[in-house]
Structure 1
Amino acid sequence: MRGAPESHSGWTFLTNHARVLTAIAEDPTTRIRDIAARCRLTERAVQKIVSDLEEGGYLTHTRQGRSNAYHIEDGTILRHPADQRLTVAELLSLLAQHDDEHGEDKRKLQSAGGPAADPEADV
């Protein structure tokens, strides 16, 4: 079993709730343990966030054997008053576009033999 994720000091642009939701959007059958590793959170924190998202109507889950399959309610409006015209689907689309562009940049660096060619390198 791994230790606690590295702590992060300072502020970030995305909340942990947005990170967890993004991880679920990419793989609706992902495990809490995998979300925790990806988002650098504890499993307990991810469980609480998933519970928050379900209570808020952003997410549902169904049991599939011993696993969960999550479903994101795409049309749900974001919670903050300044974001009320933005849906979850639109937010996830923006984040996916960023990931696609970042992935393309990384592939270009790899083909040029840049830092991304090293799988241990952090771009």
Structure 2
Amino acid sequence: MNDSSPSRQWTFLTNHARVLVQIARDPGIRVRDIAAQCLLTERAVQRIIVDLEDAGYLSHERRGRTNHYRVIDAKQLRHPADSGLTLAGLLAALLR
């Protein structure tokens, strides 16, 4: 089997992680800019932001015409294999 076939392609980070990293780097970043950095559509980024907010990893505050995001870095990761690990630990590794 050829490892370069589309069915065998994968990446280490999910789109959710990519979006979260962009927001952690710049809490005032625009959805348009996140989409460009992550190679996603604006609509996909908006859905991911809603997912992250619904799960308690992110909140936002409206400031004028823009959103300012806040990463809830004390929140624990969701997967049972990651038990005890926090978002702060993940972001520390990804933002180095």
TM-score when normalising by structure 2: 0.90
What one-letter code is carried by the residue in structure 1 that aligns with 2:11?
T
Deviating runs (4+, > 3 A) in structure 1? none
Residue 107 of structure 1 corresponds to which residue in structure 2? none
User: Match for residue 44 of structure 2?
Assistant: 45
| Structure number, greater radius of gyration | 1
The alignment status of 1:23 with 2:25, answered yes or no, reads: no
Q: Give the partner amino acid of 1:42.
A: T
Which residue of structure 2 aligns with residue 80 of structure 1?
79
Name the SS of the counterpart of 1:69 in structure 2: strand
| SS of structure 2 residue aligned to 1:77 | coil
In structure 1, distance between residues paired with 2:19 and 2:35 = 8
Q: Following TM superposition, by how much is the alpha carbon of 1:73 offset from its aligned partner in structure 2, in angstroms?
A: 0.4
How far apart, CA to CA, are the structure 2 residues paired with 1:73 and 1:34? Answer: 21
- How many angstroms apart in 1 are the aligned matches of 2:78 and 2:72? 13
SS at match of 1:25: helix
Which sections of structure 1, spanning at least 5 residues, go unmatched?
1-8, 98-123
Instruction: Give 1:76 deviation, angstroms.
Output: 0.3
Q: CA deviation at 1:91?
A: 0.3
Tell me what 2:63 maps to. 64
TM-score (ref. length: structure 1):
0.71
Q: 2:33 corresponds to which residue? A: 34
The alpha-carbon deviation at position 40 of structure 1 amounts to 0.4
> Which structure has the higher relative contact order (CA within 8 Å, separation 6+)?
2
Deviation at 1:18, TM superposition (A): 0.4
Deviation at 1:75, TM superposition (A): 0.4
RMSD over equivalenced CA pairs, Å? 0.7
Percentage of pairs with the same residue: 62
Number of positions where the alignment pairs a residue of Structure 1 with one of Structure 2:
89
